[in-house]
Amino acid sequence: MKSNLIHGTVAAACALLASCYPYPEVPPHTQAGPSNGPTTTSSQEQQKIQEERDRMKAADEKKKKEAEDNNRLIKPDKPEKPTTGGGSSDNKTKPPVEKPRTDWPFANPVPGKDGFVFSPYNQKVVDVRDIPSGTLVQDPTYPAAEKKYFRVP
């Protein structure tokens, strides 16, 4: 009876230990981990990527063409009245000239540090030493495409 109790206890302990062992959900040969070398895409994957790019270009060109067609439909067929006074007889209109923006925000100076200011956009410290007061400068914490400018106090 004692041996049955011991064997039963050992079997239960083994079952409990086996149930607690974490089995990998992914087979070891496909498991993600540090790669041994650079990964490259196959020619089939590259071909799929190129096809997707071509589809996107075609869709963009189609949208541009539709926009041009819509603009032609909106334009009036009859010519505009010529303006009186000197000038050419052409009815061409000049595109509106954008006025340069003059209301750029001023940066706030960093207390105790001459030549350093807080950016008005993200409050990061920017070095403006040797730049005269009132000068328009680009925020170096943003790319040039975003056009984040401010004036030096």
HSE, side-chain direction, 13 A CA sphere, residue 140? 7
**Per-residue confidence at 129, pLDDT binned at 50, 70, 90?**
very high
Residue type, 4: N
Q: Residue 118: phi, psi to the nearest 5?
A: -90, 130
Average pLDDT, the chain: 77
Q: 148, 112, 106: which is closest to 131 by C-alpha?
A: 106
48-60 tens-digit pLDDT: 888 888 988 888 8
Does the pLDDT value for residue 73 go beyond 70?
A: no
**Per-residue confidence at 19, pLDDT binned at 50, 70, 90?**
low
Higher per-residue pLDDT: 134 or 7: 134
The pLDDT value given to residue 40: 62
